[in-house]
Structure formats: structure tokens, C-alpha cells
Amino acid sequence: MSMDWIAEQMARLGEAGLERSLRVLGTPQGPEICLDGTRLVNFCSNDYLGLASDPRVIRAAQTAAARWGAGAGASRLIAGNLGIFARLEDALARLKGAEACLLFTSGYHANLGVIPALVGKTDAVFSDRLNHASIIDGCRLSRTRISIYEHNDPGHLDRLLSECDSGRKLVVTETLFSMEGDIAPLDDIIETARRHRAMVMVDDAHATGVLGPDGSGALAHLSISPSRVDVVMGTLGKALGSSGAFVCGGGALVRHLVNRARTFIFTTGPAPAAAGAALEALRIASEEPWRRERVVSLSEKLRSFLEEKGIQNGSSPGSPIIPVVVGPAEAAMEACARMLALGVYVQGIRPPTVPEGGSRLRIAVSASHSDEHVDQLLDALEKAVCR
Ligand SMILES: *Cc1c(COP(=O)(O)O)cnc(C)c1O
């Protein structure tokens, strides 16, 4: 009886076409997967470089587990600070051109831990309207005054900063937006924040491994010196094919986070296998630039196809994320079902992941997609979306 409200809520969610449910993969992540027993070409993973099931990355995970064990066994501050974590932090700091780096068990934990460690009740945070849920939740958890600026709008950010005279200020934005595939005007945003003496944090989850030389991320891609940004967050679970996340910045920042970021302090250290996999993925990402070039060329092919068909999409050149916005949630789910029937998996994305009326198919290309996979995608889009 006391749980009846759940069934009622679920029924309402179902009626609104918003209930989500889990589908099961019977294969590793890759360009072709078996989903609930059906073989499909997969265009919705974040495994942009095709490293999640790369044999070398898998072997590195096995080697790390054999050397360091299956689990860290304790939080990093107690007895769980295994040597392999320091090696990975060094490699990531080098990649990002930062003084120091700190691992977190996921990007969600990173954002949830870092933001409240930087701002509190008497401060203010300025957040892009389309920022990821983990940033939104980090802001809320900080109990800071939250100002939302319009997506990628440094002018609006400037006005909001001008109106604010509270203590510390933090500006936070994604670099390559996860659902739009567009790159933030970081130069302007950083400049604006600096004018108002605000700290700047960027979430480089989708750009790490994909953009910039060696896959170092969006700042390098835009020729912005890493020293102009105070905090760079990134994840190991997307292009690097592993699991976990990191925060890069100055040595003082990292020492502060070790003492103040609760999602770092009160949790078990990462899995050694995940750290080993990430180290190998970093090496491959740097030594095999063809993977990034492949992503760029597939992205361009898809973007010009959509343009030809008169389908709007606001993704930036070279972005692995290409949204096809269809509007209502039901339309996105119908398009998704039609694509599935044609053997192509592109997940429909609905509120609350995207704003009301902005439901979409979020297409993600990977270096592991063959020309045949892409032909199949375009053919399915032609039949399922361009009707
Ligand atoms: C995926 C994502 C995260 C969370 O990273 P995980 O490691 O998957 O928890 C954070 N920020 C953005 C922008 C993301 O897309």
C-alpha cells in the first residue's frame, strides 16, 4: 500500500511517453552489438575512438588487475591509493597541460564533488542552460546562488556577472555539449569570467580523446592555453573506453579537493583494471591520430547528408555528436523504433535529458564504424526520418 504511489507515477510517465527502460547488450560495446537478442549497428555509444573493446585496452585492464588486484579495497585517503592511480594522474595532467590531476570514480562524482568544494552559500555559480545533469546537481549541492545563462551566450553571462556582488564566483560550462554536439565559445566565456574575477571550470567529458592534438581536448582544439582555465574535468568512460573520471588544475586545487571533495573522500578508490585500461587508451589515442581523423570525416559526411535533406542540426564541425531534433517525445521514440526495425540503433533522447519539445535522435559516430555501417545509417535515416 505504502508504495502504490510508484505505480501511479509510472503509469503517468508511460501515458506521457516518457517511461524509460533498460535494454540489455549481449556483446561488448562496439559498432555492432546484440541488443535484447537482436544484432544492430550501433550509433549511440560514447566510445568515439572505438577503444572500449580494443584488445590492447582489454589486455591492459587484465594486466592491471593481475598486478594491483580487482579492487582498491579502501578509499584513497585510507589505504586505497594504489600506485597505478598516481601514474594515471600524471599521464592525464601531462595530456591536459596541467600541474596536477585527481581521479574520481565517475564524471558524475567529479562534478558533484568539485563544485561544492569551490563555492558555498555566500557565493555564486554561473551555469550554461544546457549543462549536464551532474553539473546541475553539483551546483544545487553547493547551496550556492545559481544563475543560468543562455546556451553559449557570453553576452548574457556578462550581464549576469555584472549584477552579482556576492563572494566567490564560478563559471561552469561543458566544452563539447553532450546533447547538442556544439562547442562552447570558450575564448569569450573565459575572457568574460576573467573580467569579473570569476573562476572557470570546464567539463571536457565529450572532447577528451576526440578534439585537439593527442586528444587533449577542447582547449587545445581552440588553441586556448590551459592556464586560462582553473578546473578541467574529463571522463575516462567515453572516448577513452574505460570508466572513471578526473579533474585537472593547479597543485593547490588538487590538494584542496583531496581534503574537501566529499565524492573523492568518502568512496572506494577506482578499479585498478579501469585505470590500466585508461592508461593504454591514452597511449593509443595519442599514437593513432587516424581515429580522430576518422571521427571528423564521418561527422562531416553525416552533417552534409542532413544538410542536403534540409534537416537542421547545430553540431560543430568535427563533432562526433550529431543530433536530429524531431520535437515531441513520441516523435523521437517512433523514429527510434523505425530505425531499430531497419537494424540501426540510435537512441531517442527525451526530457528531462533535453528540454521539452527538443526530443531527438542523438547520433554518435565512432572511429570503429566502417563505411558500410555509415551507409546503413544514412539509408535508415532516409527511410525513418526524412519521410
Ligand atoms: C557523461 C557526462 C558526465 C558524467 O561522466 P561519467 O563518467 O559517465 O559519470 C559528466 N559531464 C558530461 C557533460 C557528460 O556528458
**DSSP string of 69-93?**
-SS--SBTTTT---HHHHHHHHHHH
Query: Distances from the Cα of 111 to the Cαs of 14, 114, 142, 263, in angstroms?
Result: 31, 5, 11, 9
Q: How far apart are CA 85 and CA 77, in angstroms?
A: 12
Single-letter amino acid, residue 356: E
Ligand 1 centre distance from Cα of residue 108 (Å):
6
Backbone angles phi, psi at 224, to 5 degrees: -105, 130
Atom of ligand 1 nearest to the CA of 178: 15
- For residues 231-247, give the mean pLDDT: 98
Residue 387 has pLDDT above 80, yes or no: no
Q: Cell 588487475 maps to which residue?
A: 65
Q: How far apart are CA 40 and CA 344, in angstroms?
A: 5
Atom 10 of ligand 1, nearest CA residue: 107
Ligand 1 centre distance from Cα of residue 174 (Å):
10
Q: Could you tell me if 291 and 50 are in contact, meaning their C-beta atoms sit under 8 angstroms apart? A: yes
Residue 222 has pLDDT above 80, yes or no: yes
Give the pLDDT confidence score for residue 88 in this predicted structure: 98
Assess whether the C-beta atom of 215 lies below 6 angstroms from ligand 1.
no
- For residues 317-328, give the mean pLDDT: 94
pLDDT in tens, 10-57: 999 999 888 888 999 999 999 999 999 999 999 999 999 999 999 999
Q: How many residues does the chain have?
A: 387
Count of other CB atoms within 10 angstroms of residue 79: 11
Atom 3 of ligand 1, nearest CA residue: 107
pLDDT in tens, 83-120: 999 999 999 999 999 999 999 999 999 999 999 999 99
Assess whether the C-beta atom of 245 lies below 6 angstroms from ligand 1.
yes
Q: How far apart are CA 347 and CA 360, in angstroms?
A: 8
Q: Cell 503517468 maps to which residue?
A: 12
Ligand 1 centre distance from Cα of residue 136 (Å):
12
Assess whether the C-beta atom of 180 lies below 6 angstroms from ligand 1.
no
Q: How far apart are CA 57 and CA 329, in angstroms?
A: 37
Pocket test for ligand 1, best of 130, 134, 173, 246 (most atoms within 8 A of CB): 134
Higher-scoring residue by pLDDT: 47, 330: 47
pTM, entire model: 0.97
pLDDT in tens, 335-348: 999 999 999 999 99
Assess whether the C-beta atom of 178 lies below 6 angstroms from ligand 1.
yes
Atom 6 of ligand 1, nearest CA residue: 107
Q: How far apart are CA 9 and CA 347, in angstroms?
A: 23
Atom 15 of ligand 1, nearest CA residue: 178
pLDDT in tens, 164-188: 987 999 999 999 999 999 999 999 9
Assess whether the C-beta atom of 235 lies below 6 angstroms from ligand 1.
yes
Residue 95 DSSP SS3: helix
Residue 328 has pLDDT above 80, yes or no: yes
Q: How far apart are CA 215 and CA 294, in angstroms?
A: 13
Cell of 43: 550509433
CA 17 to chain centroid, in Å, comes to 26
- For residues 220-226, give the mean pLDDT: 97
Q: Cell 574575477 maps to which residue?
A: 197
Count of other CB atoms within 10 angstroms of residue 363: 25
Q: How far apart are CA 203 and CA 259, in angstroms?
A: 21
Minimum mean pLDDT range among 12-26, 62-76, 242-256, 293-307 = 12-26
